[in-house]
Structure formats: C-alpha cells, structure tokens
Chains A and B, each alone.
Chain A
Amino acid sequence: MKPSLSSLYQAVELRQQIPPLIIGERTNANGSKLFRERLLENDYQGCLQIGLAQEASGAQVLDLCAAYAGRDELRDMTELVALFARSVKVPLMIDSTTPEVIEACLKLYPGRCIVNSVNLEDGGRTLRRVCSLLKRYGAAAVALTISETGMAMTAEDKVATARRIHDIAVGEFGLRASDLLFDALTFTVGAGDASLRDAAVQTIRAIREIKAALPGVGTVLGVSNISFGLSPISRKVLNSVFLHEAVEAGLDAAIIDAGKVLPLARIHEADRAVCFDLLYDRSEGQAHDPLVRFIEHFKAAAPSEASSSEGKFEGAEQAVFAQVVEGGKEHLEDNLSMLVQRMTPLAAINQVLVPAMRRVGELFGRGELLLPFVLQSAEVMKKAVSWLEPLMEKGEVRQQTRVLLATVQGDVHDIGKNLVDIILSNNGYKVINLGIKVPVETIIEKAREHRVDVIGLSGLLVKSAMVMRESLRQYREAGLTQPILLGGAALTPRFVAESCVPEYGGPVVYCSDAFAGLTAVRAHEAGRLVSTSWSAAGSVAAMKPGARDAGIARDNPVPVAPFFGVRHVEDIDPALVLPYVNRQVLFRGRWGYRRAKLTAEAYDSLIEGTVQPIYDGLVCRAVEEGLVRPRVAYGYFRCFSEGDAVHVLDGGAVHVFRFPRQAAAPHLCIADYFKSEAEGGDVAGFFVVSIGDAIGREAHVLYEANRYHDYLMLHGFGVEVTDALAEYWHAVMRRELGIAGSEPSDLSGYVTQAYQGSRFGFGYPACPDLEAHRPVFNLLRPELIGVTLTENMQMVPELSTSAIIAHHPQAKYFAV
C-alpha cells in the first residue's frame, strides 16, 4: 500500500509521482506574522483564511502550528484542527512537540494526518511516548535529526541520528518506515557564518545517505531556512534552486510557502549560477566569496526575478487571487491597494481577478465548488472591481463582450436570469439586464442601442417557452444575428433544437444553468458557438414499448365537500407549514449545496456546520419576525366534465376551464379525472396560497446590495416554503373531503404523491395556460388575502401558487 495522508475530503500520497509533496508553511504561529497576529486575537476564522489561501496556491498538506508563548496550545490546536478539518480539503500536519497536544489532535482529526515532529533531544523519552500515539492512531511523522548533543550539523551526524530514531520507531514500535519523513535540517548560508558555509552541502548529502541507509523512509525539509537573513527577492530564487537540488538528491516533501516556488527553468541563468556557487560554496578563481557575490548580484539584478515569475502569482496578487477563489472578503481593500502599486487597475482586473473567477468556474465545472460558494466568490469579485474601477484612467476602457439579458414578456421570475447576470458580469462581461416581463420590441431596441454581442432570454413558465419560440422570428425579421441563449425550467434541449433553432438565423443555444451560459459566451468569443442539436437516440420515450391510453375509472365515489363556495384563512401558524419543507430539495436544488463529489461524511459535515444553521436562522425569522405570513383562499365547487373542459358551478355562474390533452399516449387530460353531467357530476377544489411579500422585498434588497449568496438563500427558502404551504393546504383539503385515509408517512411520500388525488398548478406542465387564473380569481377572490394578477395573469406576490384539486385516485402529475 502506498503511504498516504487523508482528510475528510481526499487522500494524498506521501511520495508524489512528481516530487516534492508541498506542505504549506504559513499556518504557523512562529513562521507567519499574520497567522500569529490572528491567533493572538483568537481569530480562528482568520487563521483558517490563511490555510485556505495556501491550499488555493497549491499546498497539498498544511502544517498547522499554534505553539506560542503565553497561549494555551492545547486549546488553540484543538479549536483550529476541528475548524481546519471541516473546511480545508488537504490533510493536516500537526506541528507540535507536546505529546498531550499531539494526542488530542490525533483523536480529533477525521483522517490520517502527520505529526511534526519527533527527535532525540531528551534521549528518546518523548520520542517513545509519541511513537506509541502514532501507533495507536495510525499517523505518520516527521523526525528531526536532533539528538542529546543538539542539532546535527554534519551529514554523518544527521544520518546517525536518523538511524537511531528509525530503530526506535520501526524496531521497537513497529511503525512503517514509509510513514517516517526525516528532516535532515538545514541552516542558512546567508549569515556569513563560517561554520555554516557548507550547510547546504551537508544537508543534501544527508538526504541522499539517509535514503540509502534506511530503505523505505522519506525525507522532508523546511527549505526556506537555507536563505534566512537574505533579501526577500533573492530568498525566493535561492529557495527554489535549493529545493530543486534537494529533490534531485531524493527529497520527498518540502515545507514551504506554496505560492513562492519558481520552476528552475524560469530562473535566469546568471541567477542560477550565483545560487549554485553559494549553495556549493564555490569560490575558485573568484575575487569575492560566494555570499558577497550573491548579495551583489541580487542588489543589481533585482528585477530579473520579476520577469522569471511570469504567470506565477505572488504577494498581493496571490492574496487577491486566493480571496476570490475562496470567497474571503477580509482585508480585500488592503490587498488591492498593494496590487495597484504593482499594476494598473485594468491589469489587476484582467490579469488577476478574471483569471481567479475562471478558476472558480473550472472548480464548479468539476463539481469541486458548489453554487453558494461560487456566489461568495462573485461577491468578492464585485467588491474588488467596484473598488478598482474608480481608479481607472479616463480612456482606460475594459474591452468587454456585451450580453443582453431579459426575462421574457409575461414572466415575472428573475432569479435564474439574475444568477446568469452574476456569473457573467463577474467573469468580466458587460451585462445589460433589462429585468422581467420584457417585450420583444424593447429587447430589439436595446440590443441595437448597446450593440450587444449575445442575447440571453429567460423564463420559468411553460408559456415562456412558447413566447421565446414565437419571438425568434421577430428577432430575425428585425435583422438581429447575434447568438440567442435560452434558459428556463420549461425548456428542453429537444424543444430548443426542434422548435426554436429553425426560427432564427443565428445560433440558438439551450443553457441548463448560468455556467452553461458562460460557456456559450466564451464559445462565441472563440468563434465556435453552434446551435443546440438533439437526437432521439438514447431518449427514454423512444425505448418505451408503446404506452397505451390510460383507462380512467368512472365508478369512483365522489366525496362530500365540507362546504361549497370560498373561504379565506389568514391566521396560519408558519410552524404548521415548515414541517412540509423538503429540505433535500431546498439544500441541494434551490440552494445548490449538493453532495456532488463529497464523501457522505464530508457532506454531513457541510450540512451540519453550514447549511442547517442557515436554514435554522431563516426558520427562526419566519416564525418570530413575520418573514413568512401564510394565507389561503380556497373553496369547493360542484362541477362536471365535458370533453377536455371542466365546468365549475358557483351559485348561478358557470366557469369553464379548458385543459390541454397529451398529444401522445397515454393522452391524459385533467378533465378526465372529473365525472360528466351524465355520470352525476363531481366536486373540484381550488386554492390560491401565498406567504406574503416580505421575503420578495428583502431578496430584492439583497440582490441590489450584491449580497448574492444571501439572496439565493432567502429566495430559495421562500420558494420552498410556498411549496410547503401548498402541500400543507392540500393535506387539509384531503382531510376535509374525507379522503385522507392513506397519507404519506414521510416527505418523500409527498414527492411521489402517495396520497389520494392530485393538485395541478396553473402555469405548470399539466395545465400550462395561465389564462385559467381569470376564472380561478373569480371563484376565490384572492385579492382579499393580498394576491393580485398582473396583466399577464401571473400572481403577485411572486411567492404564491394556485391549483385545482382532483380527488380521483388515479389523478397524479403529468405533463402535456
């Protein structure tokens, strides 16, 4: 078995195919001033941010050290390990020499970590104690070549000390040699200390000899010690050259600032030469010793390092890049102000921020970053760009592809379109967002006025799909040729390919989500965007053995309605409704907290630590602050079917609902579930339910304030609570009708309609026509509970829903 470390999220092999294993060094109270300051302020979250930044810049393991005079190391380490274990994807290196701290952390850590470190300073007492812990908890360890006589300076002493530690750990305790990483220690060659002139030579020799003498063991090194005391720019180059030499000698792992490693090929020939001379202490034929030459060289040639670091981020660039990727807003302005000392605001956007968002998109595409975290990244991006834009020089214009977005005429749903806006505008595109219910004429006019490159149309309703199809011809006749992207719940790739593409001259592309929109815009820029195509092969319908028409029973009993006419109920306790919220759908669907590639344990931990608390907070506000005010207008009416229509009797008035029938077998139509006049007539229920407009108003404010994450959370919560209210009231009506004999035992039973009858929402697949809202409103007068209709027959507030209730046992959801 290959020796590996693991976190909740992933395993990492100690011997990388391409060494070294990079161990991030900045989460160390002794090595990082920033980490120490945050620790001293008990700012554990701030400490975590440093770890996340290390991870973002390439660390494969994080060295975590909180040993600092005056602090309670046990408390700090247990708090930090618990926090890091949840939030950091890479495994941890527990950096402590105190057995009590090591044991507490090993107990706590939900993976396989590595302890840093053991040594022979006290002759082996502590070593033996820690070895028994390593054995018990199955951990790996770093062993320093330190003995009773101190730190080993020569290769011989380093190897001898390593052998003694090896014999105790492997011989006495039965640890695997492959779980030991020997740190042969290195000392600075930059201090001018004569006794340290060959420090690098001794260390490199020791690495080679330890690996030869102790088969199977690994080696590790705190690389940057080699350059202690030298200037920052020259340190980076020397560290990189030394790391290269150590790896050549067999080094397996390096504890280093992950963002500051330069590949040897990027280091200038002259820079390399002075580094080699210093490391190998070469002075033949030179007037000055190698250290003097090294310092002089870098004093003169300081900028050569900058050109060699092309493509690599460092300092402020690295910090800002990591902040966007990780969604951290702390000290963003400070980092940006450092950044603009090095580059123009425009360059900062194009060379740091946009690539960071591109990285976010890649991580999302691979299922490694979930939508809510993407929105947090977009918030940082937005904040950074807003800070930079006023600093731009006049005439320094961002060259941006322009995208027009609109929710189509007759549709008030804007969350989908707004998510596309967030993703596109924060990936460097100029978005012209025209809002909701936008007429075709306005879209044509604005497309010309803003000379847009791409048009994106959105709509949730079934009717909106028809509106999109019909409008395409108008766009073509108006002379538009830009690609048109279509998105929305009622669309399918087949509908777009077969019904929409032929209507327009330019590309027409189906987009399943905001990132599909981003992909399409990029494809357009690259000149390779093509219309959506669809093939029947592989579709399920094509494989069906031929569905037959459903035989709808005609002899089912008609229940007794508790009353005829309409009632309005406004004092519904939200606590009665909330149990009907399907949290699986809310968390995974509306909010995007999907398990995706996480392990079951990691997902549980995400839910428990992050998602459930968001839900609990909203529930608390729903109940205590009146965020959710459920109200219902509902009633029962005598009715009879006639062909595809249902005639509903209300006093002397008759309201006729015409329902569409499926074009293909089983040819279902809602009217089939109601008896005809000849069969004795039937009873139909109707409801309009709403949770009020508080959530809608607050969500709008959040969106305007660029609080994308909170916007998505609140809006999604509102949608699911509205659905829960419909579910709850449908159950109430089944009870009133006396047909609640076999109710579902859990929420998944509501999903599959494991109850008698069905409710069909207006505007949804079984009855897409919103015109039906006219008779529904005549019957129920929902204006009395604060729900009104727009000119396009949509309900306001948006968080409202309507339905016709069928009691027929065969009535279940279907799509026309």
Chain B
Amino acid sequence: MKMICANCGYIYDSEKGDPLNGIAPGVAFETLPDGWVCPLCYAGKEAFDPLD
C-alpha cells in the first residue's frame, strides 16, 4: 500500500519505510506514530491519501 502526501506529492511506500524519519522498511502507514509527519513538507498523517 502506497500513500501520497496531498500537500507535496511525497509517496510513503511501506516496503521502503521513511529513512529520513527513522522509519524502517515494512512499517504499514496505519501503524506510523501519530506524530509522524511528511519527511519533505512536514504535513501530518491526515494529509495522506491512498495511492493505489
């Protein structure tokens, strides 16, 4: 499952995780901590939309 940041277009791919925020590969978007933000534009989780 990929999620896209509606604010800047960054794509969170759970297979890759988010190295900039120290998120390991394999972490599902739903299980990211509530305080997690987009690594590029700092938008919150609510700015993300399912991509596929």
Which residues of A pack against B, CB within 8 Å? 492, 512, 538-545, 582, 584-585, 588-589, 594-596, 600, 747-748, 751-752, 765, 813, 815
Contact = CB atoms under 8 A, between A and B. Distances in A.
Interface of B: 4-11, 21-23, 33-37, 40, 42, 44, 46-47, 49-52
Contact of A752 (B10, B33, B44): B10
B33 A540 contact: yes
Contacts of A813: 40
Contact of B8 (A538, A541, A542, A751): A751
Contacts of A594: 6, 49
B6 A585 contact: yes
A765 B42 contact: yes
B52 to A, nearest CB: 6
Contact of A543 (B9, B33, B37, B40): B33
A793 B50 CA distance: 38
Contacts of A512: 44, 46
B10 A751 contact: yes
Classify the interface of chain B: helix, strand, loop or mixed: loop
A752 B40 contact: yes
B22 A543 contact: yes
A752 B36 CA distance: 18
Contacts of B11: 748, 751
Nearest to B23: A540
B50 A589 contact: no
Nearest to A592: B6
A251 to B, nearest CB: 39
A760 to B, nearest CB: 13
Given A596-B49, A600-B52, A540 B22 contact: yes
Given A751-B9, A752-B10, A545 B52 contact: no
A555 B9 CA distance: 33
B28 to A, nearest CB: 16
A545 B6 CA distance: 29
Contact of A584 (B9, B34, B36): B9
A589 B44 CA distance: 13
A588 B34 contact: no
Contacts of A751: 8-11, 40
A540 B50 contact: no
5 contacts: A539-B35, A584-B51, A596-B49, A748-B11, A751-B9
A121 to B, nearest CB: 49
Given A540-B22, A584-B51, A589-B47, 6 more contacts: A540-B33, A540-B35, A584-B9, A589-B8, A594-B49, A751-B40
Contact of B35 (A538, A596, A752): A538
Contacts of A538: 33-35
A588 B33 CA distance: 23
The CB with the most chain B CB atoms within 10 A, among A596, A751, A813, is that of A751
